[in-house]
Amino acid sequence: DEYNIQYKLGQSSEVILSLTDVKLNELKQLSKEEKEKGSYSFMLNSKLLSNGMYFIQLTTNNQTITKQIIIDN
């Protein structure tokens, strides 16, 4: 299965997408890029993960957003 992670930037920024465990320890940096203002998506292949709860962290120049995902392959 794949998870489609969608986000929108109101201004240009460096964007870091990370996968973390429940204690917010980074397991993998999924993406680190400079992005222009606009809408984006990133596909996460969940087949590479064990079943359980994870978090996706989106970090930009001025904020960090954390969202929970549950993998049940």
Q: Which two tokens stand for residue 21?
A: 């465990």
pLDDT digits (tens, 9 = 90+) for 4-19: 999 999 999 999 999 9
Q: In 3D, which of 68, 69, 65 has the Cα closest to residue 45?
A: 69
For range 31-39, the mean pLDDT: 97
Tens digits of residue pLDDT in 50-62:
999 999 999 999 9
Q: What is the DSSP string of 2-46?
A: EEEEEEEESS-EEEEEEEE-TT--EEEEEEEEEE-SEEEEEEEEG
The pLDDT, as a whole number, for residue 40 is 97
pLDDT at residue 33, as a whole number: 97
CB-neighbour burial class of residue 16 (10 A; exposed 0-12, middle 13-18, buried 19+) = middle
